[in-house]
Structure 1
Amino acid sequence: MSLVSSLAIYFVIWWIILFAILPIGVVTQEEAGEVSPGTVSSAPMRPQLLRKALITTAVAAVVFAAFYWLKVYSGMTLDDLPFKPPSSR
């Protein structure tokens, strides 16, 4: 696996995990009781984006390491996965 394809796969994994982690621990302005003028009440009070980016990076690294191990060291390919045979009509 080349460096460019590895980086592309890591980026896709990172992006998917980011969207899974973003809503965790969000407190809206309405829930906190402090709605700032000119903002929507559903806007987050403190989104903690740096913390979530670091968590995303760590989780994505673990997922990518598992993927890399499966791809390179185990020799597993898509042909090894059980697929449903095509239906015969």
Structure 2
Amino acid sequence: MTITAAIVLFAVIWFMTLLVVLPVRIKTQGDLGEIVPGTHAGAPEVHHLKKKMWITTGIAIVLWAVIAGIILSGVISIRDFDWLHQLEPLE
């Protein structure tokens, strides 16, 4: 795996993790009963964004280490996903 591939893999894992972590423990204006005129009741009031970014980074580092380890060890390769046998055989 090249350095660029490792960075791209980390970025993809980080953003996917962020999308999972963002809605956790969010308090909306509707939940608190303090809806600002002109905003939606589902707008976040307390979002803990900085804490969620750190949690996302921690989870992403662990997931990246596991996935990169699997890729680098060769336990799973691209040939394992070649169900239609389109890749040329190794010589």
TM-score range, shorter chain: 0.7 to 0.9
The one-letter amino acid paired with 2:29 is: Q
- Matched residue count: 85
For residues 42-81 of structure 1, what are the alpha-carbon distances to aligned partners after superposition, in whole Å with 9 as ceiling and x for unaligned?
1111111111111000001111000111011244213346
TM-score normalised by length of structure 2: 0.80
Q: For residue 41 of structure 1, what is the aligned residue in structure 2?
A: 41
CA distance in 2, matches of 1:76, 1:41: 46
Q: Structure 1 vs Structure 2: percent identity of aligned residues?
A: 30
Unaligned 5+ residue runs, structure 2?
A: 85-91
Gaps of 5+ in 1: none
Q: Which has the higher strand share?
A: 2
Give me the TM-score of the superposition, normalised by structure 1: 0.82
Superposed CA RMSD in Å reads: 2.0
Aligned to 1:57: 57
